[in-house]
Amino acid sequence: NALSREKPQLADCLSTSKVLVVGAGGIGCELLKNLVLTGFKNIEVIDLDTIDVSNLNRQFLFQKKHVGKSKAQVAKESALQFCPSANITAYHDSIMNPDYNVEFFRKFVLVMNALDNRAARNHVNRMCLAADIPLIESGTAGYLGQVTVIKKGMTECYECQPKPTQKTFPGCTIRNTPSEPIHCIVWAKYLFNQLFGEEDADQEVSPDTADPEAAWNPEETAARATASEKDGDIKRISTKEWARSTGYDPIKLFNKLFKDDIMYLLTMDKLWKKRKAPIPLDWQPTLEMSSQGYSETPGLGLKDQQVLGVWGYCKLFQQSVETLRSQLQEKGEGAELVWDKDDPPAMDFVTSAANLRMHIFSMNMKSRFDVKSMAGNIIPAIATTNAVIAGLIVLEGLKILSGELESCRTIFLNKCPNLRKKLLVPCVLDPPSANCYVCASKPEVTVKLNVHKTAVLTLQDRILKERFGMVAPDVQIEDGKGTILISSEEGETEANNSKFLGDFGIRNGSRLQADDFLQDYTLLITVLHTEELERDVEFEVVGEAPDKAPPPQSNKEEVNSITNGNKDSAQPSTSSKAPSEDDDIMIVDSDEDEGASSSAAVAAAVGTKRKHSDAGTGETSTKRPRTDQSSAAAAPTDDDDDIIALD
């Protein structure tokens, strides 16, 4: 082929180099096809997900006959039809499984991400830093996309710049394991369409029986998927068909959605080993509690900004269903309603349904004003965007294998041309941030919290795992005694979970050392005690605004070119030259890959003890010696390229 004629050494390198593809969804399918057609012969691909019908419109390595099967395995089989001589290894697993340790990553000359969630992106970023392997990061959001290269000591890592709050989530999270109010709001919008609007297979609201986290055995996952026509012994019909058969009875709808479906979720017991289980709601007991005075009363202030009690939302649900039912009847047989945040009955329905689900999953309920402000549009997955981004990944990979890291770029794909009439905008790679809490030589961070109100479990789950992306942290207090506060060994420090940090002598200025040996990562945390945090704020990271994007770029032309198009969407970004919007907004369903949450990874990780005894003292150390990273290399300064070239 042309590559063999022009660069024979590179062509030989492709046939011998081993590369890892993380994800076999929208980008991953296109990427795997591109790799084998370009001449890559040794490829390993990993994906936890199984194939769903909704994937088939853009993940072209899959067909209808493959529904319910492993994405990684089917992608391998399909890619081999393009190049039977290729050597492809497929793993139906989570990349956050501790089996895929630093030594595993060191087998590869290059890692390529095709992921759909931040937890897995953070983890792969850290593993590649620990293994000193180049990583190509990518993402798409509707018509927008980005590709960037991450190399230890030379470029920014994925976590160098603070990321805004992720706005959309995989379908299994929406249907089975919501953990934030936005999950419940998206579920309620889907429910509106399933009951009153245009039914969409991508917007299913019933429990997801094929949730990969609920069944880690591939055969069991496939069996659940193929058997998903039945829930227990009840033949499944469409949500709208069932609702019509009840005459849109609001009480029957209530008990189906908030009692029966929740009780079915509870039978998927693997989901609740590391999470608080949901509590079903029953209309009649709720009504009885209300009549006995147990229902909360709304507070003062504007009506839209009040948070009602559970019974208040029950009544709002009933009223909105009856109103929407009347609107359907007026439109005639086969009519459909369109959800509009400015339509009061539609907004009442989403507000009440979302809040009831929040209550069931132990979240603080939200006012109608808050729900309305959070109920934004869902960004679709565009097959062409995935194809363009997958092609750019391979082009950057060829530069890396040619030894031309200095010519690598962060490339933005925009919806509309920039001032130079270009859809693709290359930017030079930024050097590492000196203050990064991941890739700095000695990562440190300061956290402001109330030591008398912050429990050890909050430190572990909300701060270390959720905020700082650790999988199975070990924490010791730097108090001269090496007190172990949290151990990744199951059961070893569970007695500490409900205690407050202040109970262990932690006070203003105390320092904690948090280690994650799977990621070969240590973070030093300085605690600042305060009693002045805002309501519902558990902690703050000092010096960072985690819900805000990096500061805007001074180059006006570049900013205009990047942010042109849908201002509510976002581009995946690690670069400070990126747009000031979310980096990895993804389609809200389980179509891409890696839906595994940190808690699932912890469940897999806790069986491995990673402490090392000190030969001199006989004491147990919670951290291996760590070598400092090399100093940052100078990055190119020429940022005027409009054409992406290999040389």
The CATH architecture one would assign to domain 171-222+234-287+304-376 is Orthogonal Bundle (1.10)
pLDDT at 146 over 70: yes
CA–CA separation, 165 and 156 (whole Å): 20
Averaged pLDDT for residues 404-433? 93
**189 CA to centre of own chain:** 20
For the chain, the average pLDDT equals 79
The answer on whether 157 is annotated among ligand-binding residues is yes
Q: 116-125, 190-199, 331-340, 424-433 — which is least confidently predicted? A: 331-340
Provide CATH 3.10.290.20 ranges for the chain.
Answer: 444-542
Out of 83, 128, 172, 427, which one is annotated catalytic?
A: 172
Nearest 5°: phi and psi at 552? -65, 155
Query: Which position has the token pair 């205009």?
Result: 560
**253 pLDDT more than 90:** yes
Q: Average pLDDT, stretch 200-206? A: 81
SS3 377: coil
Binding residue per annotation — 119?
A: yes
Question: Is residue 58 part of an annotated ligand binding site?
Answer: yes
| Domain 10-163+381-428 CATH assignment equals 3.40.50.720 | yes
- Say yes or no to pLDDT of 453 above 70: yes
Q: What separation in angstroms does the CA of 262 have from each of 144, 266, 269, 281, 586?
A: 36, 6, 12, 8, 26
pLDDT grade, residue 166 (50/70/90)?
Answer: low
Q: Strand 521-529's sheet: what is its strand order?
A: 483-486, 474-477, 511-516, 521-529, 444-449, 540-541
d(CA 398, CA 177) in angstroms, rounded, equals 40
57 is in an annotated binding site: yes
HSE of 112 in the Cβ direction (CA atoms, 13 Å)?
32
Say whether pLDDT at 439 is over 70. yes
Average pLDDT for residues 407-419, to the nearest whole number?
A: 93
Strands 540-541 and 521-529: unpaired
For residue 25, say whether it is annotated as part of any ligand binding site: yes
- pLDDT of 65 higher than 90: yes
Q: Are residues 448 and 528 in contact, defined by beta-carbon separation less than 8 angstroms?
A: yes
Give the pLDDT mean for 128-155. Answer: 95
User: Which listed CATH number (1.10.10.10, 3.40.630.10, 3.10.290.20, 3.90.120.10) goes with 444-542?
Assistant: 3.10.290.20
Looking at residue 165, its pLDDT comes to: 62
Task: Let me know if 314 is a catalytic residue.
Answer: no
Residue 393 has pLDDT above 50, yes or no: yes
> Was 120 annotated as part of a binding site?
yes
Percent of the chain past pLDDT 70, that is, above it, reads: 74
366 marked among binding-site residues: no
Percent of the chain with pLDDT over 90: 52
Q: What is the mean pLDDT of residues 163-192?
A: 84
Q: What is the pLDDT of residue 560?
A: 32
Q: Average pLDDT for residues 617-631, to the nearest whole number?
A: 36
pLDDT recorded at residue 243: 85
Residue 313 · residue 365 · CB < 8 Å: yes
Inter-residue contact 552 to 89 (CB < 8 Å): no
| 23 annotated as belonging to a binding site for a ligand | yes
Q: Is 436 annotated as a binding residue?
A: yes
Mean pLDDT calculated for residue range 34-55: 92
Q: Is the pLDDT of residue 311 over 70?
A: yes
- CATH 3.40.50.720 residue ranges of the chain are 10-163+381-428
**Hey, CA dihedral for 42, 48, 51, 57, is it positive or negative?**
negative
Q: Is 55 annotated as a binding residue?
A: yes
User: How many residues does this entry show for the chain?
Assistant: 647
